[in-house]
């Protein structure tokens, strides 16, 4: 199993690697077999797999932990857990939960400043930073563990969301975050603003229908990590939806042309069991 130090080195190199997001052991294993060098979990994807909505706190901590354990056990590359708001509001509970997250064998985890309450979406900045500090203290005995702190100000539609997010991620970096993340950036100018504002490695999300962002353009800016959030899970469910419409509306099954052969999947998963 990769050590956190391996994952930390990937960030410190700032040479732009893709951390694809998986929602179960099978999707993680397929991503690794395709050459992906790091896996992030997606709380959205895990929620969808249980027919639960994203962003509403419907996915429980125990379910998220179990999905993460299964993913860690299925791959040999570093895994980072999308741990939402730490599944807790107060700093002490965040600390305790982060201990349990680290015990799954992940090389990193993220914590966000979204409260789960659309009417009052963000923790007060001082409290948000305290939560990051508590999460960092929980993994202090694991050198190299990458704690990513994220601000959701753009996704929640805050006035001057980018400016607010930059203020927050700077506070999070000061509180001990090893990497910062502002989901919702859709153009290179916004990414440049974030890059210029912080000294720690920056993660950028791609997959929200933006043609302006790609690996080459973000690499040129020195972005450390690219993630895809729940976009691959949504695309997979989109395939299921289109296949259903094709079968019902046309009586055809062309969707099957894109499938991975059973023999290939079985051989891959069998080799994993023997490893």
Residues paired with 39 in a beta bridge: 20, 79
Query: Which structural domain range is residue 164 located in?
Result: 4-229
Mean pLDDT of the chain: 95
**Residue 213 within a domain:** yes
Is residue 226 within 8 A of residue 17, CB to CB? The reply is yes
**Residue 38 within a domain:** yes
Q: Is the model's pLDDT at 3 over the cut of 90?
A: no
Report pLDDT for 230: 96
Q: Rounded to an integer, what is the distance from CA 179 to the centroid of its chain?
A: 12
**Residue 61 within a domain:** yes
| Domain total in the chain | 1
**Residue 84 within a domain:** yes
**Residue 238 within a domain:** no
**Residue 268 within a domain:** no
CATH number of the domain that 152 lies in?
A: 3.20.20.60
Contacts 24+ apart (CB under 8 A), 210-218: 210/186, 212/186, 212/187, 212/188, 213/185, 213/186, 213/187, 213/188, 215/16, 215/18, 217/188, 218/16, 218/191
Kindly compute the dihedral angle of the four CA atoms of residues 130, 131, 133, 135, in this order, to the nearest 10 degrees: 170
How confident is the model over 9-55, as pLDDT tens digits? 999 999 999 999 999 999 999 999 999 999 999 999 999 999 999 98
Token pair belonging to 170: 């700077």
Coil vs helix vs strand at 114? strand
Is residue 117 within 8 A of residue 110, CB to CB? The reply is no
How confident is the model over 178-216, as pLDDT tens digits? 999 999 999 999 999 999 999 999 999 998 766 689 999
**Residue 254 within a domain:** no
Token pair belonging to 272: 């994993």
């Amino acid at each position: 199993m990769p050590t956190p130090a391996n994952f930390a080195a990937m960030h410190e190199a700032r040479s732009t690697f893709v951390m694809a997001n998986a929602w179960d052991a099978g999707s993680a294993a397929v991503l690794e077999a395709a050459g992906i060098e790091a896996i992030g979990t997606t709380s959205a994807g895990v929620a969808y797999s249980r027919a639960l909505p994203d962003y509403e706190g419907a996915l429980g901590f125990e379910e998220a932990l179990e999905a993460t354990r299964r993913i860690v056990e299925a791959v040999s590359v570093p895994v980072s857990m999308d741990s939402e708001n730490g599944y807790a509001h107060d700093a002490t509970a965040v600390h305790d939960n982060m201990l349990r997250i680290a015990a799954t064998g992940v090389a990193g985890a993220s914590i966000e400043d979204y409260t789960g309450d659309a009417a009052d979406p963000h923790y007060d900045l001082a409290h948000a930073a305290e939560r990051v500090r508590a999460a960092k203290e929980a993994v202090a005995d694991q050198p190299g563990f990458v704690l990513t702190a994220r601000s959701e100000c753009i996704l929640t539609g805050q006035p001057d969301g980018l400016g607010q997010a930059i203020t927050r991620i700077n506070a999070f970096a000061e509180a001990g975050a090893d990497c910062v993340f502002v989901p919702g950036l859709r153009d290179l100018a916004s990414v440049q603003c974030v890059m210029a504002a912080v000294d720690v490695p920056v993660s950028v999300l791609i997959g929200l229908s933006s043609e302006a962002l790609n690996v080459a353009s973000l690499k040129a800016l020195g972005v450390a990590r690219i993630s895809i959030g729940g976009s691959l899970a949504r695309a997979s469910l989109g395939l299921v939806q289109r296949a259903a419409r094709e079968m019902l509306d046309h009586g055809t099954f062309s969707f099957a042309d894109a499938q991975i052969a059973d023999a290939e999947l079985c051989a891959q998963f069998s080799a994993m069991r023997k490893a």
